[in-house]
Amino acid sequence: MGAGLPIEERWARIAQLAVHGANVQQDQVVIVSAELGQRDLADAIASAAYDRGAKFVDVVFYDTRLKRIRVERADPETLSFVPGWYGKRLLDHAEGRGARISLAGPSAPNALDGLDPALAGRDRLPWLKETSQIIAERKSNWTIVPCPNPDWAQLVHPELDRDAAYEKLWEEVEHVLRLDEPDAGAAWEKRMETLSDSARRLGERRFDAIHLRGPGTDLTVGLFPAAGWLAASFETVDGLRHLPNLPTEEVFTTPDPARTEGHVAATLPLVLRDGTIIRGLRVRFEGGKAVQIDADENVEALRSALEIDENALRLGELALVDGQGRIGPLGTVFYETLLDENAASHIAFGSGFPFLVGEADAPRVNESGAHIDFMIGSPEVEVDGIEADGTVVPVLRGGAWQV
């Protein structure tokens, strides 16, 4: 573990893993997306990227407190506006085959408290709709890594004092990143072999649909005939392999956006990219579309975020997570999608992955400027595969694979 290490070395270890996961190349331009409270890790990643031969590292900082000022003072009709050059910059970077590294973990988790959630949801930053396009086109090698900070730690561990909470979060992050292994990069390569084997076995079954059943959930998600399953080990169009999420414990596919039916209850809080926490989320689908979205807290923020386009109410991802990873067994709610989605099976509103289906079906994969994951799995949620003839095959029971 890293508890006895100087803080600079702790940052450096995450940074080394980040540039390994993104597979930063000689002479690449690297964009690092961070919040103001993530400066130390952003600096460490810039150093690590230059050490690998990066030509230029562009660190872009986002400040949730400035979003609060905008929501409080700007004309509400203008809150969905995003300057065109934000997206153009990303697209130009992808055309130049640059690398991207994003930092996760809210550094100002309470910055939007007291605001009208519906108004806050109209301002979708820091998410840019062009990100979905870049991922679908596979023109950029990228990764996301968590960045511990004291405010996030207090959100996760409110029962501890500030210093103890921060140390506890650090220890958990280092554990789930496998930084307690002698060679974290090698440990991840071994884990990806296991996850890729699970994805292969699921793909070979050619299920017509996946059925999830548990407390508050009875949901059937239709699949494409040639749908493939993948672990989070991607290749760009140029064949450059990278690990888009660190940590990762999921295998996933892109579903038929017209064939989701039933209702589902989130098993963990959904936290939007601006830090808004949505608790007790419940969604009902008909004909592939979410026709009813309710929650115990801040549902208006999610509804507003999903107004970005008509396809945001359809699914672009179905991911299954078994009980053998490092995140779920901790029993910690991290209030950060990067970690929480790898603790439990999940689905995502919005954009899908056309490279996971056959060429004939690719045009039907959901296209949207949104991609919002929420967790629906737990040991109590049973997962079945449904074959084309209606045969039901157990897939997950108590978090254990059955296929």
Tell me the domain boundaries of the chain.
7-184, 204-401
Tokens of 57: 């590292």
pLDDT band at 226 (very low <50, low <70, confident <90, very high): confident
**Overall pTM > 0.85:** yes
Residue 143's alpha-carbon distances to 99, 167, 344, 400, in angstroms, are 9, 24, 20, 27
Superfamily (CATH H level) for 7-184: Thermophilic metalloprotease (M29) (3.40.1830.10)
Residue 265's alpha-carbon distances to 190, 213, 224, 236, 253, in angstroms, are 33, 10, 24, 34, 20
Tokens of 356: 């996971």
Going by their DSSP bridges, the two strands 217-222 and 230-231 should be labelled as: unpaired
pLDDT band at 2 (very low <50, low <70, confident <90, very high): low
Average pLDDT taken over every residue of the chain: 95
pLDDT band at 1 (very low <50, low <70, confident <90, very high): very low
Is residue 286 scored above 90 in pLDDT? yes
Tokens of 278: 């949505």
Query: Other C-beta atoms within 10 Å of 293: how many?
Result: 17
Q: Tell me if the bond preceding 379 is cis, omega within 30° of 0.
A: no
The CA radius of gyration of the chain, in Å to the nearest whole number, is 20
CB distance 333 to 295 below 8 Å: no
pLDDT band at 56 (very low <50, low <70, confident <90, very high): very high
pLDDT band at 117 (very low <50, low <70, confident <90, very high): very high
